[in-house]
């Protein structure tokens, strides 16, 4: 006979063991801390977890159209997308391995062969006709490598609701719609010059080879594309063919994607197939209906199209993480800004009453996040709120609240991270 559940005595023992581990009285050999925290949460040793911050499940997550494995301890599936669990980043270095990198797909990952791929550069902003580039052509151009984060404009969106009680539309990301990678490829500027860039060019519009995007109400918006002002295109934009030293994985744009450092993720078009170079300004739904700020306090046509990412920080802890009282805990996290290098991170373990500086564990650089750490010895058991507040080199600090916008973009307020002291 097989028992569907462990016997009560065994479950009790396990709970006791977990309680001891939380109190620093049990050792864990070869078991990751997050796995034990997950078990503790599942054993009911932490407070209930609200819906959007669901606890990891024991089986693999699935998201239709994503090719790579999505282990439930690393990702939260969100429709066609997969969000990285921030606590899963604690086991990674400064760069986010592809195995941990969030995926934002409007439709589904196309599996493109590098051999048959080509990029067409075309439009009235060129001095001549269209030009085609194979992957081998790109490899012949000088290569450049840079580390940059890609972060969705909607990262943190659910906090408009959780923290500010406001309704917003779009994927209910927590804070894990970001990853940092080392991208290798060619400068978009070099490809545009090779193609014969005309003096009157103003906009370039890369377009993906994934399927047409059809909205929930059935409108076909065509393939994912968003104009980029020429000034940015010529500045630091890459056509990347490698991520962290490997050919781009299918889900992240194989064989070639655009990487637009410091800008919202939608600018970094994956599976790029063509780039229009235009002598007149260009529009697509991705710089008119989407990726502007709408709602009270914003013009009826919306704000200007969003460009740079904002300022955020996050703890590498699950929501409602159980932490043992009387034990010194090392709290770790990451902070980043699209405007400048992170200058400092301050942490509060008492709900915002007092703050102290965290230790920055990386050289702060523009377009990169920094890892930070601090220690905390909680005394009283019960619920507690952790806050981290980043300040960047422009002097901007995360505010207490973010003004509402209907699509929930650019959440930058200090996040109130609940934990349970046990
Ligand atoms: N072709 C194409 N490019 C795309 C998208 C897409 O759906 N199709 N999603 C964009 C959005 S909204 C984001 S946030 C980033 C996500 O990149 P990642 O999936 O590699 O993390 O890709 C962008 N590039
Ligand atoms: Mo995005």
Please state, in angstroms and rounded to a whole number, the distance separating the CA atoms of residues 102 and 85. Answer: 9
Q: Do residues 362 and 417 share a domain?
A: yes
> pLDDT tens-digit profile of 295-348?
999 999 999 999 999 999 999 999 999 999 999 999 999 999 999 999 999 999
The pLDDT score that the predictor gives to residue 307 is 97
The pLDDT score that the predictor gives to residue 45 is 52
Name the closest-CA residue to atom 19, ligand 1: 103
Q: Do residues 323 and 200 share a domain?
A: no
Contact between 236 and 145 under an 8 Å Cβ cutoff? The reply is: no
Distance 223 CA to ligand 1 centre (A): 12
- Final residue in a domain of this structure, among 275, 307, 339: 307
> Which ligand has the nearest atom to the CA of 81?
1
Q: Do residues 329 and 394 share a domain?
A: yes
- Final residue in a domain of this structure, among 285, 307, 329: 307
Q: Is 1 or 206 the better-scoring residue by pLDDT?
A: 206
Contact between 291 and 305 under an 8 Å Cβ cutoff? The reply is: yes
Cα angle value 55/56/59 (rounded, 5°): 145
Please state, in angstroms and rounded to a whole number, the distance separating the CA atoms of residues 312 and 337. Answer: 6
Distance 224 CA to ligand 1 centre (A): 9
Number of structural domains the chain divides into: 2
Contact between 133 and 185 under an 8 Å Cβ cutoff? The reply is: no
Q: Is the pLDDT of residue 7 over 60?
A: no
Q: What is the CATH number of the domain that holds 138?
A: 3.90.420.10
Q: Which atom of ligand 1 has the smallest separation from the CA of 223?
A: 1
Q: What count of other Cβ atoms lies within 10 Å of the Cβ of residue 382?
A: 10
- pLDDT band at residue 63 using 50, 70 and 90 as cut-offs: confident
Please give the full DSSP string across 82-143, using - where no structure is assigned: EEEPGGGGGGS-SSPPGGG--B--SS------TTT-EEEEESTTBSSS-EEEEHHHHHHSPP
Dihedral in degrees, nearest 10, Cα atoms 151, 154, 156, 159: 180
> pLDDT tens-digit profile of 164-181?
999 999 999 999 999 999
Distance 413 CA to ligand 1 centre (A): 24
> pLDDT tens-digit profile of 113-143?
999 999 999 999 999 999 999 999 999 999 9
> Which ligand has the nearest atom to the CA of 80?
1
Domain span at residue 339?
Answer: 311-421
> Which ligand has the nearest atom to the CA of 103?
1
Q: Do residues 191 and 45 share a domain?
A: yes
Q: Where are the alpha helices (DSSP H) in 129-262?
A: 135-140, 158-164, 188-195, 230-235
- pLDDT band at residue 19 using 50, 70 and 90 as cut-offs: low
Task: Give the percent of the chain with pLDDT over 90.
Answer: 84
Please state, in angstroms and rounded to a whole number, the distance separating the CA atoms of residues 41 and 218. Answer: 41
Q: What is the CATH number of the domain that holds 350?
A: 2.60.40.650
The pLDDT score that the predictor gives to residue 25 is 47
Q: Do residues 345 and 384 share a domain?
A: yes
- Which of 266, 285, 306 to mutate to test ligand 1, by most ligand atoms within 8 A of the CB atom? 266
Q: Do residues 73 and 212 share a domain?
A: yes
The pLDDT score that the predictor gives to residue 211 is 97
Q: Is the peptide bond before 43 cis (omega within 30 degrees of 0)?
A: no
Q: Do residues 274 and 174 share a domain?
A: yes
Q: Do residues 234 and 246 share a domain?
A: yes
Name the closest-CA residue to atom 18, ligand 1: 103
Q: Do residues 113 and 176 share a domain?
A: yes
Pocket residues: Cβ below 6 A from ligand 1: 101-106, 150, 152, 179, 208, 210, 224, 252, 265-266, 268-271
The pLDDT score that the predictor gives to residue 62 is 80
pTM, two decimal places:
0.87
Q: Which residue has the tokens 């604690």?
A: 90
> pLDDT tens-digit profile of 20-59?
555 444 545 445 444 445 455 555 554 333 334 444 555 6
> pLDDT tens-digit profile of 65-108?
999 999 999 999 999 999 999 999 999 999 999 999 999 999 99
Distance 65 CA to ligand 1 centre (A): 13
Mean pLDDT for the stretch of residues 139-153: 98
Q: Is the pLDDT of residue 264 over 50?
A: yes
- Which of 224, 256, 274, 408 to mutate to test ligand 1, by most ligand atoms within 8 A of the CB atom? 224
- pLDDT band at residue 8 using 50, 70 and 90 as cut-offs: very low
230 secondary structure, DSSP code: H
Q: Is 6 or 231 the better-scoring residue by pLDDT?
A: 231
Distance 104 CA to ligand 2 centre (A): 6
Q: Do residues 271 and 329 share a domain?
A: no
> pLDDT tens-digit profile of 364-420?
999 999 999 999 999 999 999 999 999 999 999 999 999 999 999 999 999 999 999
Which tokens go with 33?
A: 């801390």
Distance 88 CA to ligand 1 centre (A): 21
* Residues 6+ positions from 148 with CB-CB distance below 8 Å: 180, 181, 183, 259, 261, 262, 367, 368
The pLDDT score that the predictor gives to residue 50 is 35
Helix (H, G, I), strand (E, B) or coil at 15: helix
Please give the full DSSP string across 293-335, using - where no structure is assigned: --STTS-TT-SSPP-B--EEEEESS-TTEEE-TTS-EEEEEEE
Q: Do residues 294 and 383 share a domain?
A: no
Average pLDDT for the chain: 90
Please state, in angstroms and rounded to a whole number, the distance separating the CA atoms of residues 242 and 32. Answer: 30
Q: Do residues 44 and 193 share a domain?
A: yes
- Final residue in a domain of this structure, among 288, 307, 326: 307
């Amino acid at each position: 006979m097989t028992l569907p559940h462990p016997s009560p005595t065994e479950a009790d023992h396990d709970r006791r063991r977990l309680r001891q581990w939380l109190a620093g009285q049990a050792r864990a050999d070869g078991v990751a801390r997050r796995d034990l925290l997950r078990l503790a949460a599942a054993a009911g040793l932490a407070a209930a977890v609200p819906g959007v911050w669901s606890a990891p499940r024991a089986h693999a997550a699935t998201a239709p159209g994503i090719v790579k494995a999505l282990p439930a301890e690393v990702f939260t599936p969100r429709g066609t997308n997969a969000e990285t669990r921030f606590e899963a980043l604690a086991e990674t270095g400064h760069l986010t391995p592809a195995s941990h990198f969030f995926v934002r797909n409007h439709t589904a990952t196309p599996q493109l062969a590098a051999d048959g791929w080509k990029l067409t550069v075309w439009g009235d902003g060129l001095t001549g006709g269209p030009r085609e580039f194979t992957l081998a052509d790109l490899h012949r151009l000088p290569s450049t490598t840079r580390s940059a984060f890609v972060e969705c404009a909607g990262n943190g969106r659910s906090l408009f609701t959780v923290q500010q009680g406001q309704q917003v539309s779009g994927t209910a990301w927590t804070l894990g719609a970001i990853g940092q990678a080392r991208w290798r490829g060619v400068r978009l500027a070099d490809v545009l010059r090779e193609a014969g860039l005309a003096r009157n060019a103003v906009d370039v519009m890369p377009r993906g080879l994934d399927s047409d995007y059809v909205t929930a109400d059935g409108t076909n918006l065509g393939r994912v594309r968003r104009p980029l002002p020429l000034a940015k295109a010529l500045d630091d934009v890459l056509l990347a063919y490698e991520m962290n030293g490997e050919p781009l994985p299918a889900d992240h744009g194989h064989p070639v994607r655009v990487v637009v450092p410091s800008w919202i993720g939608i600018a970094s078009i994956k599976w790029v197939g063509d780039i229009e170079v235009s002598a007149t300004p260009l529009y697509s739904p991705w710089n008119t209906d989407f990726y502007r700020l709408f709602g009270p306090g914003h013009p009826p046509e919306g704000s200007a199209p969003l460009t740079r990412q904002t300022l955020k920080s996050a703890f590498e802890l699950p929501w409602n993480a159980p932490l043992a009282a009387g034990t010194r805990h090392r709290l770790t996290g990451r902070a980043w800004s699209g405007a400048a290098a992170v200058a400092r991170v301050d942490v509060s373990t008492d709900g915002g009453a007092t703050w102290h500086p965290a230790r920055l564990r990386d050289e702060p650089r523009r377009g990169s996040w920094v890892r930070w750490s601090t220690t905390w010895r909680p005394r009283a058991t019960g619920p507690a709120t952790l806050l981290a507040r980043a300040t960047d080199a422009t002097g901007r600090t995360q505010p207490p609240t973010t003004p509402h916008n209907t699509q929930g973009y650019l959440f930058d307020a200090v996040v109130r991270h609940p934990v349970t002291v046990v």
